[in-house]
Amino acid sequence: MAVGNPTPGGVYAQIRNEAPSFWAEFGADGSVIGALEEVATPTRECFASAARADATGSRTPFARGLVGWLGYEAGAWFETMPPRPPTPLPPAWWGRVKRWARFDAQDRLVAHSPGLANGSFVEPALPRPTGRLAHLPEPAEFLGGVRTIQQHLRAGDVYQVNLARRLVVARAGDPLHAWLRLRASNRARRGLLLETRHGSVVSNSPELFLRQRHRSVLTVPIKGTAPLSNPRADLLQSAKERAELTMIVDLVRADLGRVSTAGTVRAETRRVGRVGHLWHAMQRVRTGGRPVAMTRR
């Protein structure tokens, strides 16, 4: 079925009217845009059964599959975690792909599902960004968190802690506009715009969190960043940067070891790669054994 010469933005502007919808970036492998059918109320059991069903589906790219998120709070499905304040989004959401279009890295249409409609694909406008910072935690609150972490480190209670702050922006505008601006200024190797009835997610990252293919699981943690004006070797020689990467590699090795065949987890040599305007230090960690089901400890 001929669809003319559509752009990714034009196709997404049409498909998003059938919300939920997604636009996923894969770097040199191009991008995929699609419409979704929401899976029933997201729970641990619901996600597991849906994933098993889709694992045996069609071999056509994206003819079957799930797109969604697992939030930090979903960790309570597998671990004992302290209570946390409510978040704007549910801990998990998943949708099954029902229509899709695939583009190469030069934004040329290379494949699509039979359901992609004919017609005019109009590139969305890109207005100036709007919004204002509505909430930022007080500096004293943040510094108090730093001191608490230092105490736990000295006591040997923890090995690594990520102290994060949530920024709230009022009147942030259309998520598509934010996505298009990110894509134009710093197109990520792995990015996602996901719009649902619960809210939208805009993600723009160089880091591969998890990928499973056949009997292998791969993760590529990144710790260490420098401008291209610096020698790339600096990231490999810096004791601080090496320590940070070593810590996160140890953590992901331990996590993969909990759900993989014993003795199959391997960490490759650390390396430095260019992502956009920056150098990043990274290390591939993979397992060659079949993962097993996760269970609550």
Q: Would you please indicate which residues are annotated as catalytic (active-site) residues?
A: 207, 223
Comparing CA positions, the residue from 180, 182, 8, 5 lying closest to residue 105 is 8
Angle between helices 175-185 and 8-15 (to 10 degrees): 160
Report residue 253 CA to chain centroid gap. 19
Is residue 264 within 8 A of residue 289, CB to CB? The reply is: yes
Long-range contacts made by residues 14-17, C-beta under 8 angstroms, separation at least 24? 14/117, 14/119, 14/121, 15/99, 15/101, 16/176, 16/195
Q: What is the CA radius of gyration of the chain?
A: 21
Report residue 162 CA to chain centroid gap. 17
254: left (phi over 0), alpha (psi -120 to 50) or beta: alpha
- In the block, residue with structure tokens 């160089």: 206
In one-letter notation, the amino acid at residue 27 is G
Contact residues for 57 (Cβ-Cβ < 8 A; gap 6+): 63, 64, 65
Beta strand residue intervals within 151-207, DSSP E: 168-170, 190-195, 200-205
- In the block, residue with structure tokens 């004006």: 229
